Chains A and B, each alone.
Chain A
Amino acid sequence: DAGITQSPRHKVTETGTPVTLRCHQTENHRYMYWYRQDPGHGLRLIHYSYGVKDTDKGEVSDGYSVSRSKTEDFLLTLESATSSQTSVYFCAISEQGAFGELFFGEGSRLTVL
Chain B
Amino acid sequence: QKEVEQNSGPLSVPEGAIASLNCTYSDRVSQSFFWYRQYSGKSPELIMSIYSNGDKEDGRFTAQLNKASQYVSLLIRDSQPSDSATYLCAPSTNTGNQFYFGTGTSLTVIP
Interface residues on A, range: 20 to 34
Contacts of A98 in B (CB 8 A): 31-32, 92-94, 97-99
Closest Cβ neighbor of A49 among chain B residues: B97
Q: Report the bound CA distance from A42 to B38 in whole Å.
A: 11
Nearest B residue to A48 via CB reads B98
Near B by CB (< 8 A), chain A positions 31-76 give 31, 33, 35, 40-45, 48, 50, 56, 58-59
B34, B42, B98: the one contacting A58 at CB < 8 Å is: B98
- Contact between B45 and A42, CB atoms less than 8 A apart: no
Residues of chain B lying within 8 A (CB to CB) of residue A42:
88, 101-104
Is B46 an interface residue when CB atoms closer than 8 A count as contact?
Answer: yes
Q: How distant is the Cα of A94 from the Cα of B90 in the complex, in angstroms? A: 14
Chain B residues positioned under 8 Å from A104 (CB to CB)? 43-45
A78 to chain B, nearest CB (A): 20
Chain A residues with Cβ below 8 Å from B90 are: 43, 102
Are the CB atoms of A43 and B94 closer together than 8 Å?
no
Residue B49 at the chain A interface, CB threshold 8 Å: yes
Contact mask for chain B residues 10-26; partner A; CB cutoff 8 A; 1 contact, 0 none: 00000000000000000
**Would you mind naming 19 contact pairs between A and B with Cβ atoms under 8 Å apart?**
A31-B97, A42-B88, A43-B88, A45-B98, A45-B99, A45-B100, A48-B96, A48-B97, A58-B98, A90-B43, A94-B97, A98-B32, A98-B97, A98-B98, A99-B32, A99-B51, A99-B92, A102-B46, A106-B43
